[in-house]
Amino acid sequence: MKYRYTKEDDALLIQFSKAKIEDAAHSRDVITHFDKNGNLVLLEILNASKFLKETGKVIPKEVKKAVFA
């Protein structure tokens, strides 16, 4: 698993695999990207700083550090 935070966009991207993305679903500030078998490839969290403040206890510390650095 890899993650990347872009401060300009306040977006957190969490990559679960390198599979080709075939489909995506959008719900509020979260976009999920799936491969052809329906497996999660990428999770994109928009307005990440707000999201992490609201769900802080379930997010790994290193991810929160990247966002709030």
Structure-block tokens of residue 24: 């995506």
* Residue that has been written with the tokens 């991810």 in this structure: 63
* Residue 16: strand, helix, or coil: coil
Q: What order do you get walking across the sheet with 11-15 strand by strand? A: 2-6, 11-15, 40-46, 30-34, 23-27
The answer, yes or no, to whether residue 55 has pLDDT greater than 80, is no
pLDDT band of 8, cuts 50, 70, 90: very high
Range of the domain at 48: 2-68
Mean pLDDT score across all residues of the chain: 87
Which of 9-18, 21-30, 44-53, 59-68 is the least confident region? 59-68
The answer, yes or no, to whether residue 24 has pLDDT greater than 90, is yes
Q: How many domains does the chain have?
A: 1
